Amino acid sequence: MIMVRNQGRPRLYDAILRDHLARNRQMAFVSGPRQVGKTTVCRALGDSYFSWDNTDDRRILIRGPAAVAHELGLDRLRTATPVAVFDELHKHTKWKAFLKGFFDTYEDRVRVIVTGSSRLDVFRRGGDSLMGRYFLYRMHPWSAGEALRTSLPEQTIAPPGEPSPQDWEALWEHGGFPEPFLKRDSRFTRRWRSLRLRQLSREDLREITRVKDIGIVETLTQILSERSSSQLVYSNLGQEIGVSVDTVKRWVDLLCRLHFGFLVRPWFQNVAKALRKEPKWFLSDWSGLAGDGPRAETFVACHLLKAVDTWTDLGLGDFELRYLRDKQKREVDFLVVRDRVPWFLVEVKMSDVSLSPALRHFQEATKARHAFQAVMNLPFENVDCFGTTRPCVVPARTFLTQLP
């Protein structure tokens, strides 16, 4: 059995992709932000690796499926089915046509993993359809649950487990991206974070967009990097940077597709006078945020997004992450929806253990089964947070370890 390690520690996605390769004929598309560990995990699982950024590999890929099949030796009898990994292939103008032809011809002789530095639907949409030929897996940074267990989730909620104090502090201070999380050096983390931001603006944005004034997009990026956990009012943002509302929406969508951050939209079904339009914005890396409040809310948001994406990708249901707010300004930070039915509410606090009245109100309105006030500074308790249906205060250290 192959054991993939990331600087000495296995990852949850090792087990997920091994299970996919054993069970499915479809290609595995692995999407996620830069430096989240996609190449490390996928390359270790593969027998052959082709990167579009490698000029020698590019020459083979340009020649087409037959040339790649020759390199893989697919005409030879083999005791095991080889695994081919294609990295950054979406930069190829005809990447979908290549994959469609390769898969349709050789699917019975090879397993395929496709990954890259961006969401795979960013580059040159349209063209050949790959419907039915792949399953998508969205890779996220480390979380409290992954630091505790890396086995394949067989069900949505895991038993609680106490995270090590070192892992918990490292997640809080350095974020969940593998290098800073595992290195745990403040100087390195600051430099890594700065380089990642520059790479986003100077390389990724220029590479995939025709925006003429990159400087304005960089200004928007800087504004958004300071406003994680805030509601986005597109008209106000447009006025700040001097562009139209439609332009701001398009650029925010682009930053989401590049995994710089993500939007959480309001839930309004069965909620009287609920907000319907204004999404909340969250960064994908909470480590650089000033202020415990925004950092705590972003920390939990990233954990919840990882959970709903993982559950959905594994076929455990159709999950969404939302939030709740009404015109009386009652708000609950997050709502997890399962198969279009509200499942559980989460309000995030640093140390306040006085139960928020909004939790009870919105649980009654949405009929969600669970309602939690996750408090960051409470010590771990070995108790199943999902064992009760009444609104309750829970330690974040307990609650988050029950998620992937």
Only one residue has tokens 């640093």, namely 350
Q: Domain check: are 268 and 148 in the same one?
A: yes
Is the distance from CB of 251 to CB of 220 less than 8 angstroms? yes
Cα 287 to the chain's mean position, in Å?
16
User: E-assigned strands of 267-307?
Assistant: 280-283
| 324 within domain boundaries | yes
DSSP-based helix, strand, coil % in the chain, nearest 5: 40, 20, 40
126 has pLDDT over 90: no
Cα 105 to Cα 361: distance, rounded to the nearest angstrom: 57
Strand ranges for 339-391 from DSSP E: 341-349, 370-375
Distances (CA, A) of 363 to 325, 345, 368: 12, 7, 5
From CA 108, how far away is CA 100, in angstroms rounded?
Answer: 14
Evaluate whether residue 93 is within a structural domain: yes
> Is residue 355 assigned to a domain?
yes
What does the pLDDT read at residue 123?
Answer: 39
Is the predicted pLDDT of residue 2 greater than 60, yes or no? no
Same domain, 222 and 238: yes
Domain assignment present for residue 4? The answer is no
β pairing state of 83-87 and 48-51? parallel
Report angle CA 55, 62, 90 to the nearest 5 degrees: 80
The predicted model gives 12-30 an average pLDDT of 97
Q: How would you classify the pairing of strands 261-266 and 280-283? A: antiparallel
Write down which residue in 104, 138, 172 finishes a domain.
138
Same domain, 223 and 319: yes
**In terms of Cα–Cα distance, which of 161, 188, 175, 229 is closest to 401?**
161
- Residue 379, both tokens: 């010590």
Within a domain: 325: yes
Q: What are phi and psi of 303, to 5 degrees?
A: -65, -45
Q: Which domain holds residue 94?
A: 12-138
Return the CA Rg of the chain.
22
- Of 203, 204, 239, 207, nearest to 220 by C-alpha is 239
d(CA 122, CA 256): 10
Amino acid identity, position 10: P
Q: Tell me the C-alpha distance between 266 and 244, whole Å.
A: 23
pLDDT at 255 > cutoff 80: yes
List, in sequence order, every beta strand (DSSP E) within 279-385.
280-283, 319-325, 331-338, 341-349, 370-375
pLDDT over 70 percentage in the chain: 93
Domain count, the chain: 2
Is the same domain home to 80 and 107? Answer: yes
The answer to whether the beta carbons of residues 330 and 358 sit under 8 Å apart is yes
CB–CB of 91/52 below 8 Å?
A: yes
C-alpha distances (whole Å) from 378 to each of 146, 148, 353 are: 20, 18, 9
103 with 230, same domain? no
Query: What is residue 91's predicted lDDT score, i.e. its pLDDT?
Result: 86
Q: Tell me, yes or no, whether 101 and 247 share the same domain.
A: no
Residues 202 and 217 in one domain: yes
- What's at 349, amino acid-wise? K
pLDDT for 359-380, tens place per residue? Answer: 999 999 999 999 999 999 999 9
DSSP track, 89-143: GGGSTTHHHHHHHHHHHHTTT-EEEEE-SS-TTSSS--SS--TTSEEEEE-----
Please write the tens of the pLDDT for every residue from 322-337: 999 998 889 999 999 9
C-alpha–C-alpha distance, residues 305 and 320, integer Å: 8
In the listed set 105, 138, 171, which residue is the last one of a domain according to the structure?
138
> pLDDT category, 270, cuts 50, 70, 90?
confident
Q: Do 251 and 329 belong to one domain? A: yes
**Same domain (yes/no): 364, 216:** yes
Confidence of residue 122 (pLDDT cuts 50, 70, 90): very low
List the one residue out of 89, 13, 9, 69 whose CA is nearest residue 45. Answer: 13
Query: What is residue 197's predicted lDDT score, i.e. its pLDDT?
Result: 85
226 and 339 in one domain?
yes
SS3 326: strand
Which of 100, 120, 138 is the last residue in one of the domains?
Answer: 138
Strands 280-283 and 230-231: antiparallel
